[in-house]
Structure 1
Amino acid sequence: MTPSRFAFAALLLASAAAVGPRPASGQTLQEAMALAYSNNPTLQAARAQLRAVDENVPQALAGWRPTVQITGAAGQTTTGTRPNPIGPSGNWRSRDTTQVQASVAQPLYRGGRTVAQTRRAENQVLAQRARLYATEQQVLLDVVNAYVAMIRDQEEVRLNTNNEQVLLRQLQATNERFRVGEITRTDVAQAESRLAGARASRADAEGRLQTSRATFTRLVGQAPQRLTPPQPLRPPAPNAREAAVMAARNNPNVVAALFDEAAARDQIDVQFAALLPQISVNGSVFRNTGQQAGGAALDGVRQDGTSVTANLVVPLFQGGAEHAAVRQARQQAQQSRNVVEDQRRGAAQQATQAYETLVAARATVDSVRSQIRAAEIALDGVQREAVVGSRTTLDVLNAEQELLNARVSLVRALAAVITASHNLAAAVGRLTARDLNLPVPLYDVEAYYNAVRNRWVGFGDYTEDAAVQGR
């Protein structure tokens, strides 16, 4: 058997080869990420969640606005005197009554609750935007992993299929030599055993390929086409220490935790407002008909009137629940501060791990390339020595297996380089559609917020209005 020799570039190109016929055009990693950015349901759900959180701001601003309402009542009232037990029946009279009142209540001071609720709502919006970016990064990173896994598994299927064909020819040659008495039955059994193992490895590789294909389809929204081998990203930091510092500052989970902490501090003011005075102005217009006038119930009597009052409410003691709510909010703010530190440490750990994994994967690629060159030379020598009888069939099979293992290791190391570079970018917050310059319109996180922030009425879906505004 003559071993197949190919250079590193040829192996990289072979990584793009898929099993079965495929279209001529290739699908790049950027195109796959752009498709996921546009239609991935996880990302779409996160955007809808952000729009829902945007509505917290107009709800908080409603505390500045007047409340207008109309109340009314209509019915019948029956009155009369109790009959004298020895006299005639009492005098009973029925009349129709109506009451209509329109009132306006304008809050002037609510103990600072409206200001605190507005600040809290805006911090919640900013925190949710950071979470949206975290979700976006995770979706894109999942696409990268699925894309690279497809190429890796396709290449492993190709290598195992080629190895199975080589071992089949090896078994045929071994049987011929056994028939002429050059080797023993043991050599044939060894070749048969190695071929059966190769078939099992090929079947396992095909199963993993189908799994990767299903994962790719779920994330991207369509089946993979002819995939083009991607290049690793340039590291955003020169060393692991600077990557950790950058991640502790820019990671979306850290940013979200910081705004969550600010919102938790605002919640203290929201709860404390219940202990402060409340000032409001109320105005009303009313009309009552069928009421009693001058002590007598007369049909047709109508009362009209207006009232304007300034109201002051000073809470003195309300059972202590408000004090407990303030204490609770303080503890929740302390919890949020600890969450910030935990997120910073976690982001730094992720960045350090991704950077070191990238360095190790690159070193592995260089080492395995040298291993492949040496294994090819060794296999060629073992085959030549087996022809003259100084090597056995098992020696040849072992040399072939070592070369196959080295080539599979190279494929996996190349995949590890690409995924580690993208993991590093995600850890430092640089794996967004904007950072990657994806060929897709970017989602405007402020468009819906601007469309609903100062809206007083309306209960429709303003997503389309926000989309027009964002363009």
Structure 2
Amino acid sequence: MKIFLKYSAAIILMIGGSHKAIAADPLVLSREQCVEIALRDNPTVRIADMEVKKYDYSKKEVLASLFPSIDFSAAYQRSIELQTIRMNMGGESQNLKMGSDNTWNMGFTASMPLIAPSLWKSISISDEQIVASLESARASKLDLVNNINKAYYSLLLAIDSKDVVKQNYDIAVLNADVYAKRLATGTASEYDVLRSSVQVKNIEPELLQADIAVRQCQLQLKVLMGISTDVEIRPNVTLSDMQRNIYSYPASADRSISDNSSLRSLDIQKRILSKNVDLKKMAWIPTLGASFNLSWLSLSNGSPFKNQMFNPYSTVGLQLSVPIFSGGSKYYGLKQAQVQLKEIDLQRQNLVESLNMQVELAIDNINKEARQIESSAEGMRQAEKAHDIMQKSFDIGAATYLDLRDSELANTTAKLSYLQAIYNYLVSMSELDLLLGKGVK
């Protein structure tokens, strides 16, 4: 709770323009808190949620077709020349004009499907489309969680690597000071002083690059979380702290791919195609609809706005539509849907085999990286011990500066290899969780 209070305070201060206050009080976040903020504020997640709403509205649109459709219409017609008919009456031919100058017609029409199998099946397909959109939103969240994890681990690696480079830089500065003092007492040559000073200058670009890497990782994490780039964030752990939770992947652990988002999406798509086959079959079933009409008709001569007398009339009816022949379009449409259903069965089989292979490879990498961490940790301890021995030997003049620099380089390389091994393990675990569909309900 305190973390989110700090987050809210930081945002308010940022809006008010108090940048210094934000910089003085950075957000210290765990990986889980970063994921929680991202799932709430990242635009990608909000877009996925809007897609779910869109398909929900689409289903309601189809459901609306089951209800009566009511329309109102009005029409006016003015006769320019009335129709004339010739009649023979009493041996004499007479011309009669038929119709009226003005014709008004207005009324309501209503229609409603009573038996509409295709419409009913379309509603069922709409339900599956909503499920598909929910799974798509879940897939977006899984990808986001994986990206947040990797960005968080990258930030940890950048910070810890910067600390290692900074330690190497401090040692180089210390050694340069030692040589400067020895030069003053005549126990060191000017060449030794210059060489140690050059070594300090050589490390400065590495330190600058490490600082840039930290800033880039922070920016990437903030963008994924959907928060302002002006807000400073810091992790609450280091890579070394996370080693306590690192172990080989148990052989008895769950390796099921049933929650894999791609597989679940394919299963949903298969259900949609199966119902689409049923929908194609429904095209041969007759449909029945009801209709109702209530109208008013007025006929008059002269002015269209005088002497109007509207006479109501109404009708009710049923309409039966029986498909008989359509040139084979329904038949070939059904065959096409059945082929698509068979295709997706083969796609699923191929996907299952591919996912199982990826899971096995990921677990092998995790186990290999866990062993690599143990090996790197032992190598780091030995490098630190060798450097301490060489530093003491250098202090008493029993070792050369070149020997000391070799031990420092070996120590720095061992520490960076150790950090990289932890990072690789954590990223591999995150990728495995993505494959298994873990991390998002």
TM over 0.5: yes
Matching residue within 88, 98, 101 for 2:104: 98
The answer to whether 1:134 aligns with 2:142 is no
CA distance in 1, matches of 2:197, 2:54: 64
The answer to whether 1:280 aligns with 2:282 is no
Secondary structure at 2:81 match in 1: strand
Residue 34 of structure 1: how far off its partner (Å): 1.7
Per the alignment, residue 426 of structure 1 pairs with 434
Mapping of residues 73-112 of structure 1, within 5 Å: 73-80=75-82, 95-110=101-116, 112=117
Per the alignment, residue 317 of structure 1 pairs with 325
Secondary structure at 2:80 match in 1: strand
CA distance in 2, matches of 1:408, 1:142: 23
Mapping of residues 29-428 of structure 1, within 5 Å: 29-80=31-82, 95-110=101-116, 112-175=117-180, 177=182, 187=192, 190-220=195-225, 221-222=227-228, 223-229=231-237, 231=242, 238-239=250-251, 243-244=254-255, 246-247=256-257, 249-290=258-299, 300=308, 302-386=310-394, 391-428=399-436
Residue 352 of structure 1: how far off its partner (Å): 2.9
The answer for unaligned runs of 5 or more in structure 1 is 1-19, 83-89, 293-297, 435-471
Secondary structure at 1:238 match in 2: coil
Distance 1:250-1:401 versus aligned 2 partners, 3 A rule: same
Residue 225 of structure 1: how far off its partner (Å): 3.0
Secondary structure at 1:78 match in 2: coil
CA distance in 2, matches of 1:184, 1:136: 63
CA distance in 2, matches of 1:237, 1:176: 54
CA distance in 1, matches of 2:308, 2:264: 68
1:193-243 Cα deviation digits (max 9, x unpaired): 543332222122112111111111112225343421175879997338x64
Q: In the alignment, residue 255 of structure 1 is paired with which amino acid?
A: R
* Greater shift in the superposed pair: 270-279 or 227-236: 227-236
CA distance in 1, matches of 2:246, 2:351: 25
The answer for unaligned runs of 5 or more in structure 2 is 1-21, 85-95
**Identity level (%):** 15
CA distance in 2, matches of 1:21, 1:91: 94
Aligned-CA RMSD value: 3.4
CA distance in 1, matches of 2:390, 2:248: 46
- Paired residues in the alignment total 398
CA distance in 1, matches of 2:291, 2:98: 39
CA distance in 2, matches of 1:51, 1:121: 12
TM-score by length of 2: 0.79
Secondary structure at 1:356 match in 2: helix
1:94-124 Cα deviation digits (max 9, x unpaired): 72221123222221223x2123212211111
Question: Residues 157 and 205 of structure 1 are in contact (CA less than 8 Å); yes or no, is this contact kept in structure 2?
Answer: yes
CA distance in 2, matches of 1:21, 1:100: 72
Per the alignment, residue 452 of structure 1 pairs with none
Per the alignment, residue 444 of structure 1 pairs with none
Secondary structure at 1:290 match in 2: strand
Question: Residues 74 and 107 of structure 2 are in contact (CA less than 8 Å); yes or no, is this contact kept in structure 1?
Answer: yes
Secondary structure at 2:54 match in 1: helix
* Greater shift in the superposed pair: 150-159 or 346-355: 346-355
* Greater shift in the superposed pair: 179-188 or 309-318: 179-188
Distance 1:269-1:365 versus aligned 2 partners, 3 A rule: same
Question: Residues 47 and 132 of structure 1 are in contact (CA less than 8 Å); yes or no, is this contact kept in structure 2?
Answer: yes
1:159-187 Cα deviation digits (max 9, x unpaired): 21221121122234345556777666765
